[in-house]
Amino acid sequence: MELWLLLILLGLITYFIINRSVARITRTPVWLLWLVMMTPALVLGGWTLAKGEDVPLPTELMLALFVACPLLYWLLIQWGRRDANPPASQKTQTENQASVASRQVPAIAKEPTLRPITKQEETDLRNCFPWGVYYLQNVEYRPQAVLCRGKLRTNPEAAYQTVRDNVEAEFGDRFFLLFQESLSGKPFFALVPNPQTKTREDGIPKERQPVEGKALALGLMLITLFTTTVIGVRIAGFSAEQLTSDPATLLQGLPYALALMAILSIHEMGHYLAAMFYKMQTTLPYFIPSPFFLGALDLIPVFFLGTFGAFIQMRSPVPNRKALFDVGIAGPLAGLIVTIPLLIWGLAHSSVVPLSDASGLLNYESLDPRFSLLLTVLSKGALGSQLTSAMAIKLHPVAVAGYIGLVVTAFNLMPVGQLDGGHVVHAMLGQRIGAIIGQITRLLMLVLALLEPDLLLWAIILLFMPVADEPALNDVSELDNWRDLCGFLAMVVLVSIILPAPVTITRLLNL
């Protein structure tokens, strides 16, 4: 039953990601792409049902699937790719770079069609580039952007600020001004249409979120509080029959629900407040409740959380890499500040049980903390001499919420695409290097999943995610040393969560 529920959940997530990421760029049916990428999971599930969990899938077959399916997935996308650009034979190298730059425009600026600028407006535009700041050499026109190429003569931040002020003085809010690096590493400016206006037709500023959006956020939060509370009842050891016969039993699920909701809320509020600091338009956090039938409560697997998490929706582009870094790291940092104390308290109120074959990283009744260095250290610190090499942990409901918070933090810190870690690495090292690191991370997770099968779901989800993060408006200016250090420490936290404790440490801790 748990296996089928996991496959259904994975299938839904996979379809959603494929539909959002590649449906617009290829004519290949989404269902076919979904089937190709679900093949490893379906084969593994079928093998487990036929042979049992004690007989592992042959390593050669698993490796073949993980190599062949992504390759076939990429070929199918290329085979059906929508060609919105002129034939390659008609493009020069500069035009190819412009095409890449046009595709890198933030999503908010991709839909409008650029209005042609007149000769006089082009002259005015050229005057926006002072010779001593950015020596403009040529202006190129593309369907979604006006590209201004030249030579940078001062530091990137000062150049962007000067040119942006001049463009705004000349054209108002007609354009977004992007500052990016071409494929050859040379910085260039791009003007793209700004679909936003200062006010809507009714005169209400766009920065103010509609009442309907706030009501939706509150409604989803209350529903998610209920679903997590019901799951908390199961985690606390009560059955569906006890819950239906005595509704007061629902109170037993509150420790788990409130702890988990606090972790998720503060994580998203970290993003929200950082975005507000940079005057970026964003929604309030939206929670995603996971529906279920109360009568099937006893059949719900242990990895069912009562929620699929929470998110905020950015409604304006990121101004620069510093803002991208701060908004990206604020969520995991804020969530971790709450997660660690809750996890330590929950572990201190947990009990130890004998280590068995059923112990693992998805079994809250018998959790083996040794798969994670950070969890090992925290568990030993909280339980002391009770936790030995022959013992596992039966988690208190608050410890379950803290443990989930640790997992959520680790997943969000993965340096892939538009995850928080992807934003952080992109801001630190640039978009191109960030994409390379994202690709390496996905491959390393596949290898790690072969050693720890419970991480297979992570590996598959990461495999579907685009490795390239969307650029900031000023995507050239680099971070200061302090932010680089914080980003490095964030990656250290990620490694300490996902990698097992070394033998030397387990021996030192008597584990």
User: Which has the higher per-residue pLDDT, 201 or 35?
Assistant: 35
pLDDT at residue 199 above 50?
no
Confidence of residue 360 (pLDDT cuts 50, 70, 90): confident
* Angle subtended at Cα 39 by Cα 44 and Cα 467, rounded to the nearest 5 degrees: 110
List phi, psi (to 5°) of 496: -70, -20
Q: Residue 288: in which H helix or E strand, if any?
A: strand 286-289
pLDDT tens digits, residue range 128-141?
999 889 988 888 88
Q: Give the Å distances, CA to CA, from 399 to 349, 396, 426.
A: 8, 5, 33
Q: Which of 111-120, 152-161, 187-196, 458-467 has the lowest mean pLDDT?
A: 111-120
pLDDT digits (tens, 9 = 90+) for 399-457: 999 999 999 999 999 999 889 999 999 999 988 888 889 888 888 888 888 777 777 77
Q: Which residues contact 496 (CB under 8 A, 6 or more apart)?
A: 372, 373, 374
Q: In angstroms, rounded to a whole number, what is the distance separating the alpha carbons of residues 34 and 333? A: 34
Q: Which two tokens stand for residue 405?
A: 């918070």
Instruction: For strands 187-193 and 175-181, give the pairing.
Output: antiparallel
Q: For 461-483, what is the mean pLDDT? A: 84
275, 423 contact by CB (below 8 A): no
Domain ranges of the chain: 2-79, 97-193, 212-316
For a pLDDT cut of 90, what percent of the chain falls above it?
27
| Residue where the block lists tokens 């005015």 | 124
CA–CA separation, 203 and 265 (whole Å): 31
Identify which of 302, 329, 325, 340 has the alpha carbon closest to the alpha carbon of residue 427.
Answer: 325
Confidence of residue 213 (pLDDT cuts 50, 70, 90): low
Q: Give me the pLDDT at residue 219, please.
A: 87
Which tokens hold the place of 434?
A: 């960030």
* CA-based R_g, the chain, Å: 25
Architecture of the domain defined by 97-193 = 2-Layer Sandwich (3.30)
Residue 461 neighbours by CB distance under 10 Å: 19
Q: The whole model's pTM is what? A: 0.74
- What's the mean pLDDT in 162-175? 88
- Average pLDDT, integer, range 185-192: 88
236 pLDDT above the threshold of 70: yes
